[in-house]
Structure 1
Amino acid sequence: MNLELTIVVDMFPTTLRAIAVSITLMIGRSGAVVGNVVFPYLLAAGCLPPFLMVGSILLMSTLLTVLLPNTDMKALE
């Protein structure tokens, strides 16, 4: 979680930083609640659906990190 917040703080200008951090935290907490509600239903359906859910979320997260801009040694605008 700290890595995501560091990236958000680095990417957004000062005027939008507080809103961006708040939205990031809200989405993370909402995802935790949804995961805690959905996971027992997936376990009731069998052993494979929870593995598929966790694997697909991991794959989507990996693909989304490819879209992050490369800011090494560049001044942010």
Structure 2
Amino acid sequence: MNNGPDGTILLQLVAMKMPFGKYKGTLICDLPVSYLEWFQKKGFPQGKLGILLETMYEIKLNGLEKLLVPLKKA
């Protein structure tokens, strides 16, 4: 069993755009941390979008955004 990070999720963070709300059309990786914190307090959406938003929140919270730089350039 692989306990490492799921690379497909990281690729989706730099490719998928927010489908609704104030930041509709913004790449998930480019959402401001304040918006992700709002979701963290109110509850992340169900399904894939929620997983992506929660993952991005954790990445920003832990200062790991540099992991996404090579993926954004690809």
TM-score, normalising length: structure 2:
0.31
Higher RCO structure (Cα 8 Å, ≥6 apart): 2
TM-score, normalising length: structure 1:
0.30
Larger Rg: 1
Which has the larger share of helix?
1
